[in-house]
Structure 1
Amino acid sequence: MKHIVVGSTFALALAGFSSVAFCAEALEFHGYMRAGMGINADGGKGACYGLGSINPFRLGNECDTVIEPTFTGRIASPTDKSAWGVTVMPKTYQRWGEVGGSSTLKTEFGQIYLFGENVPQLLNGRIWGGKRYYQRLQTGINDEFLENLDGDGVGIEDMDFGVGKFSVAWHGDIYGNASTDRFATLSGNTISARFAGVKTMPEGTLSFYGHYRKDSNRDDHSTTPVTTAPEANATTHIAAYHNLNGVLGGSNLIGIGYTSYENDKDVFDITIQQSGFVTGAKMGWDAIARYRKNSAKNNGIDSTEYAIGARLDGQISGPFRWLVEGGYNHVSPSQGESQSMWKITPTLALSAGNDPWSRPTFRLYWNYTSWSDSVTNPYRWSSEAQSVGRDVTQTSGSTIGVQAEAWW
């Protein structure tokens, strides 16, 4: 029954793009969702906390609803064994009690793009064009994108050169909002490249990422004299990441990145992430350390940031699990006081399986966060300070909440 519903829905969604009849068996259906609710220690709505530009740790600290069902249909299969099709992902995202928000979840197309895969003439690579989540490299327990080039574009990816797979793409921000911004960006042109999967040892691979972005602004000719647009910025980014399996019962990631924002700052990043599993204790564990150096240009303020955290996730019996996560964030500016924040989140969960990544999962958690006096706004999103009615003398906060999460 599920396949019939999915097939019918997907065929209707794609009716404007193709007259090809879709078979439910030819469809792929996967996605991600999370949703929850919480209250803070004072009885108001739950809150999430964060400090600096490194993501806070996520367990009990995700005050939002995300729904991303993804449908992929292959609509042509030539004799050369390539496959051609379309991917569609309607999505909704909203924070709890967001200021100016609505109680009704609003849906938009997060992704919709055409593709051709396993194309012999492209070294068995893949061509794509449209709007998509692209070149995402994500950490685990703090849910940070080390690489992320979502948006509109066209590209060729995973061309197999033997020693590794090469990808290249051209992206453009084509929706400048001239009605609200007289200097609306006509196009933010980005050229990106990736060379991934280079073997370094039997269980190790090395990947290289890079992109160059140039914003193209226009002057406002509706004024006399003409109002000149601000200078367009350029961004250059390069990074390398090494993945190694079979370490401490799991895998690790080591990454180094450098980003130069032409008229703003230079950013240097280091990431170390490790996961493992202790069979005898039926327990998984994850740890991460992040370091970031922000070097300002044009007489700005430099800063150094770091974060370190870990999570334990063990089975009690059957679907019942226990989790605990702790994390620490620190920011040291070149001017002013240093700032720090730490959190701990004990959790009980029910999951559809015996390992830490079994999904769906349902969690009951208590998130306790404390911060230094120098932190002016401890909330992950600035709008939360208004919605929870923060006492400015407060240096700690806690939320009791529930959350459901799944990917498939």
Structure 2
Amino acid sequence: MKNFKLLPITVAVAASVASLSSFAADADIEALEKRIQELESRVVDIDYTDDQQPAVLTPDTPVTDGIIFSGYARYGAHSSSGDNRYVEVGSSGRSLGRLGNESNGGEVQLAKIFQADSGAKWDLVFMVDDWSNDAWGSSGGINLKKMYAGVTNIFESQPELYMWGGRDFHQRPQQGLNDYFWMTHDGQGGGFNNLNLGAAKFDMAIVGQVDSEDGALGNDNGRYAVTSKLHSINAGIGNLDIYANYGFASDEANEVGEAKVSDENAWQLGATLGLGDSNKLVVKYADGADDSVFDLAGDKSVFYASVEGNYAVSNQFIIDYLVSYKDISGDDYKDANTGRNLDKNEYAGIVRPQYQWDDVHSTWLEAGYAMEDFDDGGEKNGWKVTLSQNVSLGGMPGSRPMLRFYTTIGDVETKNMTERKTADTLAFGAMFEAWW
């Protein structure tokens, strides 16, 4: 987020100058300069960005007098004349690349920070989001995504410990090029972050999945997750984070005529390892789940691994990349309509060269390929290429807000033992993306 200025100096200067007589004495000028210095000392720069991750308050977070406004959004027109609106293969987000290949939506957050006389700092956070999409079977609408309170600096021996309760983003490590949350447990409950163990910090929580009836409800649906993360570990070549999660359900999650979900459980193990300054390894194994232990999917196991990063050819020319592999198998991993076993391997690769002409204009070219290789002989593969001309605030690939004008072409081929189908995509779009 660009620095959030609580009290712009220009406004204060203009107000002060307007009150001056055109015949002000030198003493008045000196008083004005002193007043401006006082106002400058009160300006607060605060980094409280909505990067679609949980926001954890620290003892060093500045306390503002006003409301902190943050968010993330992307909206625009996406005109497609092909068979499909977007190019999609596999279960790992936008496995062929997200550029020119993602739907509209956004989230707006309001937060307030308080400080007690003891030094404890609290935050109260509210967010609504709009990620409804006809492809996801949703009729639209705004949902309450966050409503929680948290506090830090309440234990002298653990000043960084942050405790929270309510509804929040929760444990959602994300990859950029494929827009993939390879773990996600958004819900309502409580827990803590940043328990300092010396060589590492520890997070833990229990959350319930929010009930939904064409929109978020106030109660949970009976599915729960115990989540944990051991992080900030110096592994020599980079930072190491380790995740471990367990899922279960109460009788409330059971549905009439269906197998009892309360008899199921699920677990996940995962890790990220920094490989130098600009590369990262991600590994995940899950039993009874894929991205979330809320799934309680029975006899289903998933292994996922990826390497991602970037290479700076020059200050103006940067290449991002991501390659991934995924294996999904299990007796309960079947097509709900046909009963077909869906055991498969998934492969994907994305590369995005980006050239920054100046601190406003840039040109990006993103190319991706992905394949699903089914154990029963079926196969699905696809490719996508997007050319995007961008206008942004700043001279880096991550600079936002950004306006994009793009063209996307792609093709998906599906084959089994008896038939072969193809579906192409040709799309043009104009959109904005921003986080702040």
TM-score (norm 2): 0.74
**Which residue of 231, 241, 253 maps to 1:196?**
231
Distance 1:122 1:398, change over 3 A: farther
Q: Of residues 79, 83, 88 in structure 2, which corresponds to 1:39?
A: 79
CA distance in 2, matches of 1:195, 1:373: 41
Instruction: For 1:131 and 1:358, locate their aligned partners in 2 and report how far apart those are by CA, in whole Å.
Output: 29
What residue is the counterpart of 2:86 in the other structure? 48
Provide the secondary structure at the position in 2 that maps to 1:172: strand
The question of 1:75 aligning with 2:114 is answered yes
Is 1:332 aligned to 2:373, yes or no?
yes
**Which among 281, 305, 315 is matched to residue 254 of structure 1?**
281
Q: Distance in 1 between matches of 2:231 and 2:275?
A: 14
Identical residues among aligned pairs (%): 23
Bigger strand share: 1
Aligned AA for 1:256?
Answer: V
Task: Find the partner of 1:95 among 133, 143, 163.
Answer: 133
Corresponding residue for 2:313? 278
Residue 116 of structure 1, aligned match among 147, 151, 158:
151
Matches within 5 A, 1:140-219: 140-173=176-209, 175=211, 186-201=221-236, 204-218=238-252
CA contact (8 A) 1:326 1:342 kept: yes
Question: Is 119-128 or 133-142 further displaced after alignment?
Answer: 119-128
**Which position in structure 1 is the counterpart of 2:266?**
235
Matched, 1:296 2:324: no
Q: Distance in 1 between matches of 2:147 and 2:384?
A: 38
Shift of 1:238: 0.6
Deviation at 1:86, TM superposition (A): 0.6
Rate the CA distance shift 1:176–1:308 in 2: closer, same or farther, 3 A: closer
Superposition deviation, residue 191 in structure 1: 0.8
Distance 1:344 1:39, change over 3 A: same
Contact 1:129/1:154 (<8 A) preserved: yes
Deviation at 1:395, TM superposition (A): 3.1
Q: Distance in 2 between matches of 1:98 and 1:117?
A: 38
The residue aligned with 2:70 is: 30
Whether the aligned pair in 2 keeps the contact of 1:114 and 1:128 (CA below 8 Å) is yes
Asked which structure has the greater CA Rg, the reply is: 2
1:366 maps to 2:416? no
Secondary structure of the equivalent of 1:395? Answer: strand
Q: Distance in 1 between matches of 2:332 and 2:123?
A: 48
CA distance in 2, matches of 1:254, 1:220: 38
> Would you say the 8 A contact 2:93–2:181 is kept in 1?
no
What amino acid does structure 1 have at the position aligned with 2:81? A
Residue 407 to residue 245, structure 1, CA distance change in 2 (3 Å): farther
Q: Which runs of 5+ in 1 are unaligned?
A: 5-22, 178-183, 222-226, 376-391
Q: Tell me the TM-score normalized by structure 1.
A: 0.78
Q: CA deviation at 1:298?
A: 5.3
* 1-structure distance, mates of 2:169, 2:260: 28
Q: Residue type matched to 1:191 in 2?
A: V
Q: 1:95-124: CA deviations, max 9, x gaps?
A: 37886636xxx3222111000023325722
Aligned-partner Cα distance in 2 for 1:68–1:219: 28
Aligned twin of 2:426: 398
C-alpha displacement of 1:315: 1.2
What is the aligned partner in structure 1 of residue 40 from structure 2? none
Rounded Cα–Cα distance in structure 1 between residues aligned with 2:377 and 2:168:
41
Give, in whole Å, the separation in 1 of the partners of 2:352 and 2:254.
52
Q: Does 1:316 align with 2:357?
A: yes
Q: CA RMSD in A?
A: 3.0
Count matched residues. 352
CA distances 1:286-311 after superposition (whole Å, capped 9, x unpaired): 10111111121258442111111111
Q: Is the 8 A contact 1:37 1:63 kept in 2?
A: no
Task: Give the C-alpha shift of residue 215 in structure 1.
Answer: 2.1
User: How far has the Cα of 1:47 moved from its partner?
Assistant: 1.2
Q: Distance in 2 between matches of 1:294 and 1:33?
A: 32
Give me the whole-angstrom Cα distance separating, in 1, the residues matched to 2:109 and 2:299.
37
Partners of 1:330 and 1:126 in 2: how far apart? 42
One-letter amino acid of the structure 2 residue matched with residue 290 of structure 1: S
Deviation per CA, 1:365-402, whole angstroms, max 9, x where unpaired? 11111122429xxxxxxxxxxxxxxxx96532110111
For residue 401 of structure 1, what is the amino acid of its counterpart? G
Q: Does the Cα contact within 8 Å between 1:283 and 1:356 map onto a contact in 2?
A: no
Correspondent of 1:86 among 117, 124, 134: 124
Alignment pair present for 1:287 and 2:326: no
* Counterpart for residue 137 of structure 1: 173
* Structure 2 residue aligned with 1:14: none
Q: Is the CA contact 1:186–1:218 (under 8 Å) kept in the aligned structure 2?
A: yes
State whether residues 107 and 129 of structure 2, in contact with CA within 8 Å, keep that contact through their aligned partners in structure 1: yes
Letter in 1 for 2:123: G
Distance 1:343 1:127, change over 3 A: same
**1:233-278: per-residue Cα shift (whole Å, max 9, x none)?**
21110111112443xxxx1110211100062311111111112333
Report SS of the residue matched to 2:65.
Answer: helix
On the 8 A contact 1:219/1:229 being kept in 2, the answer is: no
